[in-house]
Chains A and B, each alone.
Chain A
Amino acid sequence: MSALDLAYAAVLAAVVSGLIPTLADARRRYVGAAAFALLGAAGALAAAAGAWTLIGDSVLTDRLALGLPWLKWHARLDAVGGFFSVIVGLVVLAASVYGPTYVREFERGPQPPLVLHLFTGFFVAGMLLVLIADDAFSFMVAWELMSVSSYFLVTFQHQNAANRRAGFLYLLMAHVGALGILLGFGVLAGFGGSFTFEAMRAAGLSSTWASIAFALALFGFGMKAGMVPVHAWLPEAHPVAPSHISALMSGVMLKVAIYGFVRFTFDLIGDIQWQWGVAVLVIGAASALLGVLYALMQNDLKRLLAYSSVENVGIILIALGLSMIFLGTGHRNLGAIGLVAALYHALNHAMFKGLLFLGAGAVLFRTHERDLEHLGGLIHRMPATAALFLIGSIAIAGLPPLNGFVSEWLTFQTALQAGSLESGVLRSVLPIAAAVLALTAALGAAAFVKVYGVAFLGKARGRHAARAREVPRGMLLGMGLLAALCVAFGVLPTAVISIMDPIPQLLVGRGLPSATAEGWIWLTPVSPRVASYSAPLVLLAIAVSYLIGRLVKLREPKPRRTHAWDCGFGALNSRMQYTSTAFAMPIRRVFGPVWKVNEQIEVTRPANAPTSVASVKHQLHVEDWSWNALYEPVGRIVLAAARRVGRIQTGSIRAYLVYSFLTLLFLLWVVT
């Protein structure tokens, strides 16, 4: 029994959980429960396997009896794969606790839940297989399993045309991205002589070929991870999937793409050039800033969360870019800090984005409403969900003492080490990246004040929100698990970093001994004189002040309740509240050119009284520029090319016979 066996068991459990509903009647409740139980087991096993590998600091390899006759599948579980396996496992576990109640509403829906169970199982299995693949062939098979099964999950509610469109876009972009990855592997395999990762590591690439392979990998994995400008599928596809699947796609699948990128660049190519780091840093900064700005303008809760994933992937890429710049210029210790910051943020994002998507699912479950403008006041109706969602919002806004802050802080610390670089240009690029990160973090906080304030606070803006009830316990438990992890990873960063230590050891050859040198209370990434942060003491201070607050409150008389004062304005109704659009309006004005804003105000005036206003019609469309700038031109070119090629289709059989004859002639000429 080894950690790798546990990982196999996890994959097997996921596959079986998908297959069970095909054997029994999927509409029966116990069948669904069994499927989710197995999925949960898969998550727990994957997390256990990953944790075992990390703590034991082991590298396990194996050859499976599957695959092509001349290429058996290679499997390998090391610290990097183990770490991502923990991420996948934890979120899968939470989603499977949450799922049984959540999918109940699909049981009476037009689609049989069979499809949902089947592809969820395959999707999870695919992700876990990607993490243990040790040759390009099995990697691509697992990658495609992950992509294709998630396509069926995106289009689960396919009677809606928008969902079909989102699914098609997703499938298309997933395959363009996969093509990039495949070509990247091709370059490495061409020099290494074999498709195994071992051979690729040994391939001594020239710096040009290494750069080509890197660019292909960045494009391919970046497309899956949702980096700007190839992010367009993400805000379409994530919102339309069922919410526990959105949590998996946004929280976890993007991390598998990050895993692929880290594996490819840090491990397989190995010899990192600092120019790549600059490219990743710039793309990461653009993704982070544009992601959060686009998120701010959304009124659809799940779409907003999806754009926020673009932002967080950007933050991860910023940290990776910093790490690559330091590694490329020979500063291994600083490179290790950047890598740890990136991976820590990947872990954190999986936890809080998983939590937030599950929370959005809970809101959807009770109100059937994704539009923020129709929500409001849920804190009174769904207190537990509101409390858990608040934890997620604080975490994603990067506020101490929760987990989002720790990784952003580590990223800032990495950027601040720019002084040790020799090149003046690089020294000034890094702080600018840090400035973008600061702007992103502040805007992220504004975005989540908007989400939380408009959806959960104030008065209900719609009938559904006014009648919402708390969700069942199973869903709360799933969210609670992730919320607890958000708190734990926030207040015990030293423990997390010391567990993560084998990863930089493996990829960079250096650990982070200085980070935990001052004991578990103090986090000191470089040295105590340079920077220190003590999350446990912050938590202690909060706990003490909470206790003092309780003691004071004991003496506090029960406060009197009355109407809101509102400067003496009088009775309030829910239409007088600030809306989501109104909240974001100042930011829309400040950063105007970033979006394609189409605002129309039509004022109709009564004929007899031209100074008064009869009605006002206001329309606002805020769109992503990337559609116009990138996708539509590509689409037009493809269409034009197709039209040209289409001319050879005459419809006459004689013409086709001539084509066949000419083809044969050409082939004969080639053969001879």
Chain B
Amino acid sequence: MRWVAAAVQTALFVAAAPLLAGWIKRVKCHMQNRAAPSLLQPYRDLAKLFRKEIVLAENASWLFRTAPYVVFGAFVLAAAVVPLVAVHLPTAAIADVIVLVGFFALARFFQALAGLDIGTAFGGMGSSREMTVASLAEPAMLMAVFTLAMVASTTNLSVAIEHNLDAGLVLRPSFLFALLGLAMVAIAETGRIPVDNPATHLELTMLHEAMVLEYSGRHLALVEWAGQIKLMIYAVLIANIFFPWGIAQDFAPLALGVGMVAVAAKLAALGIALVVWETVIAKMRLFRVPQFLGFAFLLALLGMLTQVILETG
């Protein structure tokens, strides 16, 4: 029963990811006085790509063809261990939050290699920039996560969320710092403004896009979908760790229903916050990104030190 629940939740996670992307796009269009596409447009795009023929560059090796599957698989695996609607799913014990970061790193590794595989300058540039940004973002993310882990004395997501629920509404300075740090990392890692622009194909501004330029058809669909799952994972992490209210602690239908509604509302709100942020801020140059991420790292470290020095006394 619990394994079934876990499988259903994972399927829900993967299926809902394009919806979140569609929601963000729609809100953004409204914000910028543009005609908005349907909420379901991302699904239509994916369906179209899945039907299309794959065109491979002559120099593409097996690694280029395998990478989309590895990337997609890694994010599905990551989605399986993040509590979305309910805590205490058996899959949550497979991997704690450090392993989760490891899954992200694995996906990134293959994506960056695929970027180098064709031998175009764009691909190499994308890989190089992605690995540079990631090498700064990953430690910041881990620091934010460690703050949480030290507060709840666990790296198991379910246990940590439950700990936060039990603790009730206490304003912890360490949490505030960690939340800010994690949010900044999430922006960098999911390729949003100001670090990257998800809607661009201009070589000066692209990071993530440059790596996947050569993909087509089903491969491109998998990569795009994986990107949407990644965005959703970060959103769910922020929503459920820092605002855990509403998440189901048992598998009663009522609790699950409440959990579903709660997480949908939280994600919708987060989506709006992201759009507001992206609308008011401008994209920055690549070499400003280290400062941005350095700040995120500093915030996360501050959170950790506040926790370690002040809160445990």
What residues make up the interface of A, taking CB atoms closer than 8 Å to B?
376-377, 379-380, 390, 394, 397-400, 405, 409, 412-413, 416, 418-419, 424, 427-428, 431-432, 434-435, 438-439, 441-443, 445-446, 448-450, 452-454, 457-459, 522, 528-534, 537-538, 541-542, 545-546, 549, 556-557, 559-567, 569, 572, 574, 576-578, 582-587, 589-590
Contacts and interface: CB of A to CB of B under 8 A. Distances in A.
B112 A559 contact: no
Interface in B77-120: 77, 80, 93-96, 98-99, 102-103, 105-106, 108-109, 112-113, 115-120
B124 A453 contact: yes
Nearest to B306: A428
A117 to B, nearest CB: 38
Contact of A564 (B95, B113, B214): B214
B31 interface: no
Interface stretch (B36-44, B146-154, B254-262, B265-273): B146-154
B139 A435 contact: yes
Contacts of A424: 308-309
B98 A409 contact: yes
A533 B143 contact: no
B63 interface: yes
29 contacts: A398-B105, A413-B98, A418-B150, A428-B305, A428-B309, A443-B135, A445-B134, A446-B135, A449-B116, A450-B128, A450-B131, A457-B63, A457-B116, A457-B119, A458-B117, A458-B124, A529-B159, A530-B154, A549-B69, A561-B57, A562-B58, A565-B55, A566-B213, A576-B121, A577-B119, A577-B121, A583-B128, A584-B128, A590-B132
Contact of B127 (A434, A449, A556): A449
B53 A560 contact: yes
A457 B305 contact: no
A427 B58 contact: no
Given A419-B308, A590-B136, A531 B156 contact: yes
Most B C-beta atoms less than 10 A away, residue of A377, A538, A549: A538
Contacts of A399: 102, 105-106, 109
A400 B121 CA distance: 29
A577 B115 CA distance: 11
Most B C-beta atoms less than 10 A away, residue of A434, A452, A457: A457
Most B C-beta atoms less than 10 A away, residue of A377, A438, A450, A528: A438
A542 B80 CA distance: 13
Contact of B213 (A398, A545, A565, A572): A565
A592 to B, nearest CB: 10
A567 B205 CA distance: 14
A583 B76 contact: no
A578 B127 contact: yes
Contact of B96 (A379, A453, A531, A572): A531
Given A400-B103, A409-B98, A531-B98, 15 more contacts: A377-B119, A400-B99, A419-B153, A419-B312, A431-B150, A439-B136, A443-B135, A449-B131, A453-B115, A457-B113, A538-B99, A556-B54, A560-B53, A577-B116, A583-B128
A434 to B, nearest CB: 6
Given A549-B69, A578-B128, A585-B128, A457 B61 contact: yes
Contact of B134 (A418, A442, A541, A585): A442
Contacts of B297: 435
Given A400-B102, A559-B56, A413 B155 contact: yes
B120 A564 contact: yes
Most A C-beta atoms less than 10 A away, residue of B76, B287, B304, B309: B304
Contacts of A445: 105, 108-109, 131, 134-135
A462 to B, nearest CB: 14
A530 B153 CA distance: 7
Given A435-B301, A530-B155, A419 B150 contact: yes
Nearest to A452: B113
A399 B103 CA distance: 7
A388 B57 CA distance: 24
A427 B115 CA distance: 41
A555 to B, nearest CB: 10
B308 A416 contact: no
Interface in B168-225: 201, 203, 213-214, 217-218
B278 interface: no
B134 A446 contact: yes
Contacts of B54: 556-557, 559-560
Contact of B105 (A397, A431, A560): A397
B109 A564 contact: no
Contacts of B115: 453
Interface string B8-44: 0000000000000000000000000000000000000
Contacts of B149: 416
